[in-house]
Amino acid sequence: MLNCIERWLVAANRWILIVLLLAMAGIIFTNVVLRYTTGDSIIWAEEVARHMMIWVAFLGAGLALRFGGHVAIDNLHRAVSTRMARVMRSLVLLGLSAFFIFMAVASSDYVWRTRFQSTAATDIPISFIYAAMPVGFVLMLVHLLLIARRYVLEGDYARTEEIDGEAAGSL
């Protein structure tokens, strides 16, 4: 059951990223073409693309973490005994979990405080854009917990045939 939920979560996360990136690229491409062919541009294009980029960054961070795409220095835990390496990786896991929880709570407060502000061109509430932060940190925590056992015991991340740490780093 957990494997099914995990596969669904990863697939949904990836497809949301793909759709957001395609929409963002389409908006920017259309705006550039219109600017150079007609001299006019879409008023809301830059703002919406920027907001999509914020969501892409926070939604993609969990997948990058899951597949080992974030910058990490692993020389020390590879140089010590297996038992000590597991202790060190457990401490890293606890530190990351605490940080993600703290940031999810703090960013939720930030979203709440900006609920009455809106964007200039589209009049979208700023809190909808900033909601990417708590959503992203919760997703990072979930992805971390799903790979926690393998990471602590083996020092390895999730792997699939189509993506690894280097490919995840380029997400």
Per-residue pLDDT tens digits for 102-152: 999 999 999 999 999 999 889 999 999 999 999 999 999 999 999 999 888
Q: Write down the pLDDT at residue 24.
A: 97
d(CA 101, CA 87): 21
Among residues 137, 65, 57, the alpha carbon closest in space to that of 103 is found at: 137
Q: Say if CB 20 and CB 52 are below 8 A apart.
A: yes
Instruction: State the average pLDDT over residues 43-56.
Output: 96
d(CA 121, CA 125): 11
pLDDT category of residue 48 using cuts at 50, 70 and 90: very high
Residue 161 Ramachandran class (φ > 0 left, ψ -120 to 50 alpha, else beta): alpha
